[in-house]
Amino acid sequence: MPFCEDCAKYWAPSAMHADGSCPTCGRVLDSPQIASTLPTFRRVTAENIDIRRLASGLDDDQELPKTPWHFKLLVAALCVYLGWRIVQIFI
């Protein structure tokens, strides 16, 4: 944690200016890289949120798992069966 000797105060990196200077006296306390490497949080909106990725618990660089072929086959068979049951109502 950077310490300003002129102000006799410790400053949190997020409380300092972006160039690493003291907010009170302006003395450079820390290298600007440290202040710029702080994590920046994006605002979550409906446009940038990915519910599928959040539900999977995977990181951004990991690929999402694909839907298994047997699940697709089961859904197709269910549609054929229910379609046939609807046809049976009218015959």
What CA–CA distance (Å, rounded) separates 19 from 44? 27
- For the four alpha carbons of 71, 75, 81 and 85, in that order, the dihedral sign comes to positive
Cβ atoms of 23 and 13 closer than 8 Å: no
Site for Zn ion in 61-80 (CB under 5 A): none
Site string for Zn ion, 18-57 (x = CB under 5 A): ----x-xx--------------------------------
Could you tell me the smallest distance in angstroms from the CB atom of residue 30 to Zn ion?
A: 12
Which stretches of the chain bind Zn ion, using CB under 5 A?
4, 6-7, 22, 24-25
